[in-house]
Amino acid sequence: MSESATDTADRAMLWEVFVRGRRGLSHVHAGSLHAADAEMALRNARDVYTRRGEGVSIWVVPSVQIFASTPDEKDPFFDPNADKVYRHPTFYNLPEEVRQM
Amino acid sequence: MSDDAKQPGLVPAFDVMIAADERIEPRDEMPDGYRKTLIRQIAQHAHSEIIGMQPEGNWITRAPSLKRKAILMAKVQDEAGHGLYLYGAAETLGVDRADLLDLLHTRRQKYSSIFNYPTISWADMGTIGWLVDGAAITNQVPLCRCSYGPYARAMIRICKEESFHQRQGFDILLTLSNGTPEQHEMAQESVNRWWWPALMMFGPPDAASPNSAQSMAWGIKRFSNDELRQKFVDMTVPQAAVLGLTLPDPELRFNDATGHYDFGPIDWTEFDRVVQGHGPCNDQRLAHRVRAHEEGAWVREAANAYARKHARPKITGEAVA
């Protein structure tokens, strides 16, 4: 049994990586990686996720810092939106004379 | 968590999503068996990527030109990256990469048997790219539609990059095949050695693959082992003709009735022997992997010690808002 792998001093933090593909686009989640600190996470992210020019900017965030809603789309968290169809433009009937709006 | 979900194997929301061909995401409830199957499969896939660096790393210092050396280094770096994408995907299922590496190092998890064969000639770099990566792509393209989101997303990245791997391998073989008679012979000898192990990469025949049906029902697997193997043979035979190389199977011929190539029987006793750890390089590959991991321990410890010393996360760029 390799002892080094189970040594807690050996285990680096988990980070989530977000990459901006090109100027004008948002950063998008690309994956995760391990690194001891933010600088190392950025370097590793460059090597792991942008070997072919996939990005012009990278964000790294400690995974433990991300707070998430539950993923189930039927979750009550999203219920308040379900009955507000009037938020969508298609809710409104326009008179025929209005060609474009 | 609903009461239903606490009964092992019974997760109604999961069944509904699988039936609708929706993707399962990390925080969804899922049957224990699904989680365990995925952890094992993704981990073994990740292990294969990083062990797969060794047979090719073997030739970096002896590549015949600077161009070939630079390409081979980029390819081996990709394999490391693929391993990292996959370990990342496995970790979304609640396991730790360090524990998975322990399972590899202590032989409790496997990697693809193909990497237990030696790379004894430069032509093997070509054959690995063409046949081994070609077989891997055939296996992996359907995994881009796998029901588990993080695995499918990792596979999309990997498949894009593998296509460079296969073409660079084909390019090496094409150059050798059209070179001197000795170079042509080197290419042919290499293809002769790798053809059958490449066909074994698809796993045992369907009749002897008891877990396949469950994996198909869960949307992890989309095609059976034999279907994928046939697809690979059908794609590869015409490519061999372009290379001017033959495949070492006297029974290989096109079947007009089925529209597919028939091929001879695979030696599954050899497959079993290599899977059980008795291939030509099993011990060497694992010993090298464990040594590299242990020799790198001080680097990981130093990086963590440095990070602890500078506890506030340092931000190198400007604050984002």
Q: Does B78 touch chain A (CB under 8 A)?
A: yes
Interchain pair A12, B301: CB under 8 A: no
Q: Look at residue B4 and tell me whether its pLDDT is greater than 90.
A: no
Q: Does B161 touch chain A (CB under 8 A)?
A: yes
> What is the ipTM score, two decimals?
0.82
- What are the structure tokens assigned to B16, written together? 């509904």
The pLDDT, as a whole number, for residue B300 is 92
Q: Does A1 touch chain B (CB under 8 A)?
A: yes
For residues B169 and B129, the answer to whether their CB atoms sit within 8 Å is yes
CA distances from B276 to B25, B79, B109, B113, B207 (A): 34, 24, 11, 9, 20
Question: Which residues, given as ranges, of chain A have pLDDT below 70?
Answer: 1-10, 71-75
Interchain pair A2, B96: CB under 8 A: no
Helix (H, G, I), strand (E, B) or coil at A59: strand
The pLDDT, as a whole number, for residue B169 is 97
The pLDDT, as a whole number, for residue A12 is 86
For a pLDDT cut of 90, what percent of chain B falls above it?
87
Q: What is the pLDDT of residues B129-148, one digit of tens each?
A: 999 999 999 999 999 999 99
For a pLDDT cut of 70, what percent of chain B falls above it?
94
Q: Chain A to chain B, count of Cβ pairs less than 8 Å apart?
A: 95
Q: Look at residue B37 and tell me whether its pLDDT is greater than 70.
A: yes
Other CB atoms within 10 Å distance of the CB of residue B276: 11
B171/chain A closest Cα distance in angstroms: 20
DSSP letter string, A9-44: GGPPEEEEEEEE-STTS-EEEEEEEEESSHHHHHHH
- What are the structure tokens assigned to A56, written together? 């012009």
Q: What is the pLDDT of residues A26-49, one digit of tens each?
A: 999 999 999 999 999 999 999 999
Q: What is the DSSP letter of B318?
A: P
Interchain pair A5, B101: CB under 8 A: yes
The pLDDT, as a whole number, for residue A87 is 87
The pLDDT, as a whole number, for residue A3 is 39
For residues B226 and B208, the answer to whether their CB atoms sit within 8 Å is no
The pLDDT, as a whole number, for residue B168 is 95
Radius of gyration of chain B (CA): 22
Q: What is the mean pLDDT of residues B196-215?
A: 92
A61: nearest CA in chain B? B313
Q: Look at residue B1 and tell me whether its pLDDT is greater than 80.
A: no
The half-sphere exposure of B114 on its side-chain side, counting CA atoms within 13 A, is 31
Q: What is the mean pLDDT of residues B175-180?
A: 98
